[in-house]
Amino acid sequence: MKLGKLITLPKIVDPRGNLTVAEQYKNVPFNIKRVYWTYDIPSGSYRGGHAHKHCREMLVAISGSFSVILNNGKDEETYLLNHPDQGLIVDRGIWRTLEDFSSGAVCLVLAEDEFSEDDYIRDYQEYIKYLECSK
């Protein structure tokens, strides 16, 4: 069972520079309500370390590279994101941690929902309890 889904986004090659497009319900399988990005991540730091109860997201390495570790309480998978025309879909209820950021890495996130602190599970033990209650 795959915990994440890699999607190749359309890449329009042009000698003046390439262009990649992400469109909701076309190559992003949900409505996009929020867009944010992380950058200037210090060496050895990580981002994420949470799960969402409802919000699905697509992560894209706009610049540089980083690893995304996905965990469902039983299985764990690591994805290396290093192409700006490739997105990783992270479904609801999946724990995610981003690490091993290269210098200059930028992570773009397309989110299904607007920010809501109630949607986050930020403690791994609480996450495991949430999974057990969801069965």
Give tens-digit pLDDT for 119-128: 999 999 999 9
Active site (annotated) includes residue 50: yes
Q: What is the mean pLDDT of residues 25-39?
A: 97
Core vs surface per residue 99-132: b (16+ CB within 10 A) or e: bebeeebbbbbbbbbeeeeebebeeeeebeeebe
Q: Please give the Cα distance from 12 to 16 (Å, whole number).
A: 11
pLDDT single digits (tens) 50-75: 999 999 999 999 999 999 999 999 99
pTM: 0.94
pLDDT single digits (tens) 84-108: 999 999 999 999 999 999 999 999 9
Q: Which of 90, 73, 86 is nearest to 126 (CA)?
A: 73
How many Cβ atoms sit within 10 Å of the Cβ of residue 36? 11
Domain ranges of the chain: 4-134
The whole-angstrom distance between residue 124's C-alpha and the CA centroid of its chain comes to 17
CATH of 4-134 given 2.60.120.10, 3.40.50.300, 2.40.10.10, 2.30.30.40:
2.60.120.10
